[in-house]
C-alpha cells in the first residue's frame, strides 16, 4: 500500500542529477522534480496521520478489551468463591442432616 502511493525512494532523490545548461540547472526540470517530492511528502503526511488515527483507535479498543477482561475475571472469581462457599455450606448442611437423622432415629429406636 505504501509503495503504491509513494513515487520516489530516498535513493532516487539522492541520486537524481539535473542537466546543467549555460545558466545552471534547467528550472523547469527542477520544478517538476520538486513537484514530485512535494506530492510524495503530502501523501506521506496523509498516510502517517491515517496510521496515527488507526493506532489511536486500536489502542482505545485494546484498553476497552482489557477492561472487559478485568471485569470478567472479577466476575469469574466472584462466582468461583460463591460456588466454593455454597459447596462448603451444602456439605455442612448434609452433615447436620445426617447428625439430626442419627439423633431422631436413635430416639425412635429407644422408644
Alpha carbon distance 38, 18 (integer Å): 17
Mean pLDDT of the chain: 83
Asked whether residue 110 is domain-assigned, the answer is: no
Residue 34: all three cell numbers together: 520538486
pLDDT in tens, 3-23: 667 777 778 887 887 777 777
Domain total of the chain: 1
pLDDT in tens, 75-87: 888 887 776 666 6
Asked whether residue 32 is domain-assigned, the answer is: yes
Asked whether residue 95 is domain-assigned, the answer is: no
> How many helices and strands (H and E) does the chain possess?
3, 2
Alpha carbon distance 34, 110 (integer Å): 112
Range of 22-26, 41-45, 53-57, 96-100 with top mean pLDDT: 53-57
Find the domain containing 33 and state its range.
2-85
Asked whether residue 106 is domain-assigned, the answer is: no
pLDDT at 74 over 80: yes
pLDDT band at 50 (very low <50, low <70, confident <90, very high): very high
Amino acid at each position: 500500500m505504501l509503495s503504491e502511493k509513494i513515487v520516489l525512494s530516498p535513493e532516487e532523490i539522492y541520486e537524481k542529477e539535473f542537466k546543467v545548461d549555460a545558466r545552471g540547472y534547467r528550472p523547469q526540470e527542477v520544478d517538476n522534480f520538486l513537484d514530485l517530492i512535494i506530492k510524495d511528502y503530502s501523501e506521506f503526511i496523509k498516510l502517517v496521520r491515517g496510521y496515527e488515527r488507526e493506532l489511536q483507535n486500536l489502542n482505545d479498543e485494546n484498553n476497552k478489551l482489557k477492561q472487559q477482561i478485568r471485569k470478567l475475571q472479577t466476575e469469574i472469581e466472584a462466582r468461583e468463591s460463591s460456588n466454593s462457599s455454597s459447596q462448603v455450606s451444602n456439605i455442612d448442611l448434609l452433615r447436620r442432616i445426617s447428625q439430626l437423622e442419627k439423633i431422631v432415629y436413635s430416639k425412635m429406636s429407644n422408644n
